[in-house]
Amino acid sequence: MSTKAKAKKHTPNAVAAAPEQNWLATLGQIKSDKFSIDQIIQLADTLLKAGKQDLTDIAYQTWIASSTSPMKFVAAFNYGVMLANWNRTDDAIRYYNLAVQINPSFGHPRINLGLAFERQNKQEEAVAQWQLIEADPVIKAAAPIEIRTTALNHIGRLREIQRNFVAAEVALTESLSINPNQKDALHHWFHLRQKQCDWPVLKEFAEVTKNRIVTSMSPLACLAHDDDLGFQMFIGERIVREKFTFNHQPMAERKSYGHQKIRIGYLSGDLCTHAIGLIMPELFELHDRSRYEVYLYDYGREDGTGLRARYKQNIENFVSIAAMTDVQAAAKIRMDEIDILIDLHGLSLGIRAEILAYRPAPIQMTYLGYIGTTMLPYVDYVITDEYSFTEPMEQYYSEKPLKLKHCCLPTDRKKHVDPTPTREEAGLPSDKFIFATFNNAYKLNEKMFGTWLNIMKRVPNSVLWIVDDNPWATANIRRFTQQNGVDPARLIFTPRVMPPAYLGRMPLADVFLDNHPYNAGSTASDILWMGVPMVTLSGNTFVSRMAGSMLHYAGLDELIAHNHTDYENLAVALSADPERLARIKAQMLNQRNPGGSFDMSHFTKEMERNYEEAYTKIATFEIPHHELVMI
Amino acid 69 reads S
Q: What is the pLDDT of residue 11?
A: 45
| CA gap 367, 370 in Å, rounded | 7
- Complete domains list, the chain, with CATH: 15-241 (1.25.40.10), 245-413+599-631 (3.40.50.11380), 433-590 (3.40.50.2000)
Find, among 307, 304, 340, 334, the residue nearest to 321 by Cα: 334
Amino acid 399 reads E
pLDDT digit string (tens) for 405-424? 999 999 999 999 999 999 99
Q: Comparing 317 with 254, which gets the higher pLDDT?
A: 317
**Would you place residue 20 in the very low, low, confident or very high pLDDT band (cuts 50, 70, 90)?**
low
Q: Do the beta carbons of residue 178 and residue 148 sit within 8 Å?
A: yes
Find, among 392, 262, 377, 348, the residue nearest to 521 by Cα: 348
| CA gap 503, 533 in Å, rounded | 14
Least confident stretch, 172-176, 447-451, 498-502:
498-502
| CA gap 202, 193 in Å, rounded | 9
**DSSP summary character for residue 506:** G
Rounded to an integer, what is the distance from CA 138 to the centroid of its chain? 38
φ, ψ of residue 180 in degrees (nearest 5): -75, -10
Q: Is 14 a residue whose pLDDT tops 80?
A: no
Locate the DSSP E strands across 415-459.
433-437
Q: Is 3 a residue whose pLDDT tops 80?
A: no
Q: Do the beta carbons of residue 496 and residue 522 sit within 8 Å?
A: no
Question: Which residues are CB-neighbours of 403 under 8 A, at least 6 positions away?
Answer: 384, 385, 386, 389, 610
Q: What is the pLDDT of residue 619?
A: 53
Helix residue ranges, H only, 412-536: 446-458, 471-483, 499-505, 522-529
Q: Give the pLDDT mean for 502-522.
A: 97
Least confident stretch, 127-136, 325-334, 547-556, 611-620:
611-620
Q: Is 323 a residue whose pLDDT tops 60?
A: yes
**Would you place residue 7 in the very low, low, confident or very high pLDDT band (cuts 50, 70, 90)?**
very low
Q: Do the beta carbons of residue 585 and residue 532 sit within 8 Å?
A: yes
Strand partners, 317: 295
118 in helix, strand or coil?
A: helix
- What's this model's pTM, rounded to 2 decimal places? 0.91
Please give the mean pLDDT across all residues of the chain.
93
Q: Give the pLDDT mean for 224-239.
A: 97
Amino acid 464 reads L
| CA gap 141, 128 in Å, rounded | 18
Give burial (CB, 10 Å; 0-12/13-18/19+) of 247. exposed
Q: Give the pLDDT mean for 275-299.
A: 96
Q: Is 280 a residue whose pLDDT tops 80?
A: yes
Q: Is it true that the peptide bond before 250 is cis, omega within 30 degrees of 0?
A: no
Torsion of CA 374, 353, 217, 124, to 10 degrees: 150
**Would you place residue 532 in the very low, low, confident or very high pLDDT band (cuts 50, 70, 90)?**
very high
Q: Is 19 a residue whose pLDDT tops 80?
A: no
Torsion of CA 595, 600, 605, 608, to 10 degrees: 150
Taking each helix axis from N to C end, the angle separating 72-85 and 37-49, rounded to the nearest 10 degrees, works out to 20
Rounded to an integer, what is the distance from CA 278 to the centroid of its chain? 17
pLDDT digit string (tens) for 44-98? 999 999 999 999 999 999 999 999 999 999 999 999 999 999 999 999 999 999 9
Q: Give the pLDDT mean for 578-593.
A: 97
Q: Do the beta carbons of residue 555 and residue 584 sit within 8 Å?
A: no
Locate the DSSP E strands across 124-218.
none
H helix count then E strand count, the chain:
27, 13
Q: Do the beta carbons of residue 200 and residue 170 sit within 8 Å?
A: no
